[in-house]
Amino acid sequence: MDNLLPIKFRILHYLSTVETACADDFLIALKDEYGREKYFKKSVITEHLMDMKANFIIDDDEVLLDDAGQLVIYYKINDEGRKLLKKYLPKSWKNA
Amino acid sequence: MNDIVNRSAFAMKRQMDANFEKKGVLTGLFSGCTWGANNVLLGFALTLVPVLSGDAALYAIPLAAACINDTCAGLWLLLYNMSAGRLKEIFRSLKTMPGLMVCIAALMGGPIANSGYLLGISMAGPAYALTITALYPLVGAILSRIFLKQQILPRVWAGMLLSVVGAIIISYVPPEGDNSANFYLGIFFASLAALGWGSEAVLAVFGMSMIDPKIAINIRELTSGLCMAIFILPVVGGWAVLSEIIVLPATFATFAIAALAAGVSYLAWYMANSKCGVAKGMALNGTFVMWGVIFSAIFLGQELTQNLVAGSLCVLCGATLVAINPKEFFHKTEVA
């Protein structure tokens, strides 16, 4: 059994380690962990990010268009999100 | 030039946010519609169960039906998650505190609320018990306000109240007047059911901050079904009912189809709760009473009484008020 976090949890955790990140950043950063799994795709990550924003644990930051004219949204964790991580992140991940 | 790009980026984001909200509302309504279908199918499946008498009919059959409904829905959802490659996510989630919170949500909404509901009806009578249990969306909204700090607009409160009144009108049964010796205990159990269903949504939404709703609902259904099978059914003689149902292929197949509707409905409800908050999610899911009336009238030829029509209209108006801001709606129409 792997020691990975559920992907939504890991997205929140990753956001606590960087200033801001967009969906593509997660695809690159978490590829080694989840890259072989079928549901590890941009649409899933985007939906998780929007869900977490709707639950007030992350905020959106910069909004821009990439070279192809696609919308890119950067997110950052807020105090509520950090509180959740402090309380519920497994010990093995806190020390990682 | 940069200014134009920025403006179009923000316009696209506004559109994306609006679509997200719309998706949440539609998913919530869909959950109500499929839950109404589940109720009607489950009602039909129950007519195929061999006749039992006394306490068996009172507790064992409904609880065994609830157990089959949750367990089969959990198995349908397991197939769905396996085909999407999310099986590992279930085990990962169960190893975390948010995953365990979903398990507690399952116990509150499954064995505790279902048993409380039936015991409440049996001891306090349907007139009081059904009215109290219909209040569960309000309980959920209040708990989500306290524990999740979710903002609930006055319009959403008003819509929820209207929906609850509608649900009470639909399920209204005149009091019989001869309160049993256990009347207050029955009121307690009915309140426990409202608390169970209300707190389920709050605990689940909290867990879903960190785990996928598609996984959360799978954990919820399997936990609830298994706990009912292990802890509740042996007490009420439900295993005897289960063993009778399982050997009747047509009956069991009807339960399995009802459970498919339940699985789809619960999946949609958890997704809606996660997208548009507990209060809205519960109010939109609460339209199931209206859908149940519609489906029963169309497919089972049930007579539409004044109560059913008036209650359904209240639920419809309440859900509309929850989902749509009348000011924005009419403003849009004027612009168009």
- Give the C-alpha separation, B52 to B62, whole Å: 12
Burial of A3 (0-12, 13-18, 19+ CB in 10 A): exposed
Inter-chain residue contact A5 with B275, CB threshold 8 Å: no
How open is the CA angle B164-B168-B174, to the nearest 5 degrees?
165
Interface touch A6/B277, C-beta < 8 Å: no
* Residue-level pLDDT at B124: 82
Please report the pLDDT score of residue B336 as a whole number: 33
Query: What value does the mean pLDDT of chain A take?
Result: 93
Check if B327 contacts A (Cβ < 8 Å): no
User: Cβ(B27)–Cβ(A87) under 8 Å?
Assistant: no
Residue B9 contacts A, CB cutoff 8 Å: yes
How high is the pLDDT of residue B189? 92
- Chain B nearest CA to A85, separation (Å): 9
Residue B82 with chain A: CB contacts under 8 Å: none
- Per-residue pLDDT at B1: 60
Q: Under a CB-based contact definition with an 8 Å cutoff, are residues B245 and B255 in contact?
A: yes
pTM above 0.80, yes or no: yes
| 8 Å CB contact of B96 and A7 | no
Which residues, 6 or more positions from B266, have their beta carbon under 8 angstroms from its beta carbon?
B31, B35, B73, B77, B217, B220, B221
What pLDDT is recorded for position B304?
A: 83
| B32 touches B292 (CB < 8 A) | no
What local confidence, expressed as pLDDT, does residue B55 receive? Answer: 64
A-proximal residues of B, 205-224, CB under 8 Å: 205, 208-213, 215
- Other C-beta atoms lying within 10 Å of the C-beta of residue B295: 20
CA angle A27, A11, B12 (to 5 degrees): 70
A→B contacts (Cβ < 8 Å), by residue, are: 1-2, 4-9, 12, 37-39, 48, 50-52, 54-57, 60, 63-65, 71, 73, 84, 87-88, 90
Q: How far apart are CA A72 and CA A94, in angstroms?
A: 30
Which of B13, B20, B93 lies nearest to residue A6, judging by beta carbons? Answer: B93
Question: Residue B329's pLDDT is what?
Answer: 58
Residue B28 has a CB neighbour count (10 Å cut-off) of 29
**B-interface mutation test, from A4, A38, A71, most B Cβ less than 10 A away:** A71
Please list the pLDDT of chain B residue by residue as tens digits (336 residues). Answer: 677 778 888 999 999 999 999 999 999 999 999 998 998 898 889 888 887 666 667 788 889 999 999 999 999 999 999 999 999 999 999 999 999 999 999 999 999 998 898 888 878 877 778 888 888 888 988 998 888 888 888 998 999 899 889 888 887 777 665 566 778 888 999 999 999 999 998 999 999 999 999 999 999 999 999 999 999 999 988 899 899 899 999 999 999 999 999 999 999 999 999 998 888 888 888 888 888 888 888 888 888 888 888 988 998 888 888 877 777 656 654 433
Q: What is the pLDDT of residue B334?
A: 45
Is the CB of B12 less than 8 angstroms away from the CB of A88? Answer: no
- Residue B125 falls in which region: left (phi positive, over 0), alpha (psi -120 to 50) or beta: left
B96 contacts chain A (CB < 8 A): yes
Query: How far is it between the farthest Cα atoms of chain B?
Result: 79
Mean pLDDT of A65-91: 94
Encoded tokens for B157 = 């409160």
Identify which of B61, B36, A48, B268 has the alpha carbon closest to the alpha carbon of residue A39: A48
Chain centroid to Cα B149, Å, comes to 22
CB contact under 8 A, A51 and B205: no
A51: closest chain B residue by CA: B275
Residue A21 clears pLDDT 70, i.e. is over it = yes
What SS3 string covers chain A? CCCCCCHHHHHHHHHCCCCCECHHHHHHHCHHHHCCCCCCCHHHHHHHHHHHHHCCCEEEEEEEECCCCCEEEEEEECHHHHHHHHHHCCHHHHCC
Q: Which residues in chain A are closer than 8 Å to B24, comparing Cβ atoms? A: 54
Question: What does the alpha-carbon distance between residue B171 and residue B4 come to, in Å, rounded to a whole number?
Answer: 56
Judging contacts by C-beta atoms under 8 Å, the chain B residues touching residue A1 are 91
ipTM rounded to 2 decimals: 0.94
∠ CA B312-B316-B321 to the nearest 5 degrees?
150
Q: How far is B334 from chain A (nearest CA, A)?
A: 29
Instruction: Tell me the shortest Cα–Cα distance from B223 to chain A, in angstroms.
Output: 18
Spell out which residues of chain B touch residue A65, defining contact as CB-CB under 8 Å: 5, 8-9, 12
Look up the CATH number of domain A7-91: 1.10.10.10
- By Cβ distance, the residue of B6, B84, B213 closest to A39 is B84
User: SS3 sequence, chain B?
Assistant: CHHHHHHHHHHHHHHHHHHHHHHHHHHHHHHHHHHHHHHHHHHHHHHCCCCCCCHHHHHHHHHHHHHHHHHHHHHHHHHHHHHCCCHHHHHHHHCCHHHHHHHHHHHHHHHHHHHHHHHHHHHHCHHHHHHHHCCHHHHHHHHHHHHCCCCCCHHHHHHHHHHHHHHHHHHCCCCCCCCCCCHHHHHHHHHHHHHHHHHHHHHHHHHHCCCCHHHHHHHHHHHHHHHHHHHHHHHHCHHHHHHHHHCCHHHHHHHHHHHHHHHHHHHHHHHHHHHHCHHHHHHHHCCHHHHHHHHHHHHCCCCCCHHHHHHHHHHHHHHHHHHCCHHHHHHHHHHC
Please state, in angstroms and rounded to a whole number, the distance separating the CA atoms of residues B74 and B280: 24
Shortest CB distance from A55 goes to which of B86, B97, B209? Answer: B209
Q: Which residues of B touch A90 (CB under 8 A)?
A: 95-96
Identify which of A7, A50, A88 has the shortest CB distance to residue B97: A88
Distance CA B272, CA B26 (A): 8
pLDDT at residue number B20? 94
Q: Any idea where the domains of chain A sit in the sequence?
A: 7-91
Nearest alpha carbon to residue B9 among A73, A22, A20: A73
What does the alpha-carbon distance between residue B45 and residue B51 come to, in Å, rounded to a whole number? 13
Whole-angstrom distance, CA of residue B331 vs CA of residue B329: 5
- Check whether A66 has a pLDDT greater than 60: yes
